[in-house]
Amino acid sequence: MTAMNVHAVRSIYRFEMSRWFRTVGQSVLSPVISTSLYFIVFGAAIGSLMEDIDGVAYGSFLVPGLVMLMLLTQSVSNASFGIYFPKFTGTIYEILSAPISYLEIVLGYVGGAATKSVLLGFIIMATATLFVPVEIQHPFWMLTFLILTALTFSLLGFIIGIWADGFEKLSLVPTLIITPLTFLGGSFYSIQMLPEPWQTLTLFNPVVYLISGFRWSFYGISDVGVGISFGMTLFFLGLCLAVVARIFATGYRLKS
Amino acid sequence: MPPILSITNLAKTYAPRPPRQAAFEALKNVSLDIQRGEIFALLGPNGAGKTTLISIVCGIVTASSGKVTVDGFDNVAQYREARSRIGLVPQELHTDAFESVWKTVSFSRGLWGLPPSPAHIEKVLKDLSLWDKKDNRVMTLSGGMKRRLMIAKALAHEPNILFLDEPTAGVDVELRKDMWNLVRTLRAGGVTVILTTHYIQEAEEMADRVGVMSKGSLILVEEKAVLMQKLGGKQLALHLTSKLDAIPASLSGYKLTLAAGGTDLVYSYDTKGERTGITALLQDVAAAGIRFKDVETKESSLEEIFVSLVREPRP
Ligand SMILES: Nc1ncnc2c1ncn2[C@@H]1O[C@H](COP(=O)(O)OP(=O)(O)OP(=O)(O)O)[C@@H](O)[C@H]1O
Ligand SMILES: [Mg+2]
């Protein structure tokens, strides 16, 4: 009986999805509203004063960055909450005593969180088309970046959820790290617009590569080479997988 | 037949959590074999290590040393095989708040890798009188209902071994009887049941064997009947019509004491013996001219045995 416990993965996945659909109003509405606000403020009000960037109107330029912004924050918050909550209520006992491997636990929780983020990404893109023209030159790569990023940051959220031992810590990493990195990672501007030394420093921000590659799949313009973006995306995915594997190898914060 | 659960030299020291919490040795070298189909009751005062022992077997806590096999499968190396046989009803009420009863019970079945079976879930919910609540959100259930829901979740995946960690805590008398009946039904269906309890009456009522834990050690494992017989002699009390000042010399051959200020004559005897000596005693009592208005026999209960076992020696 070493085969995968498919029923278990499906159960956890469904459970996570049904938690989302139960509160689908809040889950979808708040990102949609904040994206719309960004478009109204940055796209329409300020954007009209901005020059085109590499031949792309500022409003359109914003779309991939905003989708990434939402994707990262929602992946982290969804996945961290998904695993933190059973720890908090104690229902984790059932997961720990079930005949399931750690890989299956991760597939269920992270798969669920990543699915929600990807769906949300589509919803935000659809919202964006109401405000600005959007073009997707490389749909395959757009999907690839979308899914890989959603997976990576859902894994990161999962790690945070396991590490957190209080609700404060749960929101600490997103507010302290994810949001600044995203804002400073070129969501709203091309990093070529930055003066030195900021332009070089920015290259240490992992989010730059995600946004740049994602934007390339839309308009064919990028801050860094798309190959590098793709490589970095895979690198971060691998890094998160390694951390998760390490956590489970030691039972860290799950078992005493 | 080999035991269905075999625990060998199991020990657990909880890691220290500086600065406030020192390391704690919660389990010391515990060995125990559970036979297929038996009902085993684990007794012991708060903090004895009962929940720790169960948690290690179920995979929630990692052992510091020792070995557990479930139906021959090592519970760490072959955790899938081992855990798929086990159902756990933990001591604390841990439930999802927002899901429906039906969904949360079906979820458990899925976690154990079994295909959906609405018929089985329906049977389990009906057995636990939760059928009319199946569409309710879990948070709308009463405490006793939640306790039953936890049992339903464990039974949803058809375990061979069921752990019930204080199943009747916070459960009313009638429900407790239902619970006992349920356990008997499960046993009749071949399920091995291991339960912990603080109610001695419960162990006395249901268990085939009893284990007593104290301060991390299993200090005694015994057939319930043997235990009660071994430690529990019987007493016959004669309530006298008139007070006696001393036991007459003609009765000095019997183990008699005077109680209740001389109105009770108490005879201690051993039920294991061929003859208890009661007939002879009663004849000699009559011959001595002692009259009694009532008789009463008393057996020491598990409770008394238990208390005498775990009581701290007085300094
Ligand atoms: N996670 C933990 N970390 C540190 N110490 C623990 C932990 N869990 C339990 N202990 C300690 O281990 C000892 C045994 O606890 P356990 O829960 O096994 O007792 P128990 O016999 O089930 O008691 P009760 O009858 O109160 O349920 C207790 O002293 C407890 O404080
Ligand atoms: Mg306990």
| Mutation target vs A (from B58, B111, B139; most A CBs, 10 A cutoff) | B111
Residue with tokens 């809040």, as numbered in its chain? A26
Asked if the model's pLDDT at residue B315 lies above 50, the reply is no
Residue at a domain's end among B229, B251, B280: B229
The range of the structural domain enclosing residue B283 comes to 233-299
What does pLDDT average to over chain B? 87
* Record: contact B96-A89, CB cut-off 8 A: yes
Distance CA B315, CA B312 (A): 9
Q: Would you say the CB of residue B214 lies under 6 angstroms from ligand 1? A: no
Please state, for a pLDDT cut of 90, what percent of chain A lies above it. Answer: 44
Asked if the model's pLDDT at residue A5 lies above 70, the reply is yes
Q: What is the CATH number of the domain that holds B285?
A: 3.30.70
What does pLDDT average to over chain A? 88
pLDDT mean over A217-238? 90
Q: Is residue A256 part of a domain?
A: no
Whether B260 and B217 map to the same domain: the answer is no
Distance CA B119, CA A69 (A): 46
Report the pLDDT value the prediction gives residue B277, as an integer from 0 to 100: 81
Whether B55 and B93 map to the same domain: the answer is yes
What is the C-alpha end-to-end distance of chain B, expressed in Å?
A: 46
Report the pLDDT value the prediction gives residue B233, as an integer from 0 to 100: 66
Asked if the model's pLDDT at residue B106 lies above 80, the reply is yes
Q: Is residue B42 part of a domain?
A: yes
Residue type, A23: T
Q: Which of residues 155-184 of A touch B (CB under 8 A)?
A: none
A206-219 and A226-250 are packed helices; what angle lies between their axes, rounded to 10 degrees? 130
Report the pLDDT value the prediction gives residue A1, as an integer from 0 to 100: 45
For chain A, the C-alpha Rg in angstroms (whole number) is 19
Asked if the model's pLDDT at residue B58 lies above 80, the reply is yes
Asked if the model's pLDDT at residue A253 lies above 80, the reply is no
Asked if the model's pLDDT at residue B49 lies above 90, the reply is yes
**Contact, A147 vs A213, CB < 8 A?**
no
Non-local CB neighbours of B261 within 8 Å, separated by 6+ positions = B243
Q: What is the CATH number of the domain that holds B48?
A: 3.40.50.300
Q: Per the structure, how many domains does chain A have?
A: 1
* Record: contact A18-B103, CB cut-off 8 A: yes
Strands (E), chain B: 5-14, 24-34, 39-43, 65-70, 73-74, 86-89, 161-165, 192-196, 209-214, 217-223, 234-240, 256-259, 264-269, 292-299
pLDDT tens track for A16-39: 998 888 888 887 888 888 888 888
Asked if the model's pLDDT at residue A254 lies above 80, the reply is no
* Record: contact A97-B58, CB cut-off 8 A: yes
pLDDT mean over B27-47? 92
pLDDT mean over A191-212? 85
Task: Tell me the β-bridge partners of B238.
Answer: B265, B295
Relative to beta strand B5-14, strand B24-34 is: antiparallel
- pLDDT band at A118; cut points 50, 70, 90: very high
Q: How far is CA A137 from CA A141, A145, A213, B146, in A?
A: 9, 13, 12, 54
Distance CA B246, CA A236 (A): 92
Least Cα distance to B158 among A99, A164, A190 occurs for A99
- pLDDT band at B278; cut points 50, 70, 90: confident
DSSP state of A53: B
Q: Nearest chain A Cα to B76, which residue?
A: A99
Q: To test ligand 1's pocket by mutation, which of B21, B51, B306 has the most ligand atoms within 8 angstroms of CB?
A: B51
Whether B125 and B107 map to the same domain: the answer is yes
Report the pLDDT value the prediction gives residue B308, as an integer from 0 to 100: 66
Nearest to A93 among B82, B90, B99 (CB): B90
B92 contact residues in A (CB cutoff 8 A): 90
Distance CA A75, CA A157 (A): 7
Q: Is residue A62 part of a domain?
A: yes
DSSP A194-233: SPTTHHHHHTT-HHHHHHHHHHHHHHS--SS-HHHHHHHH
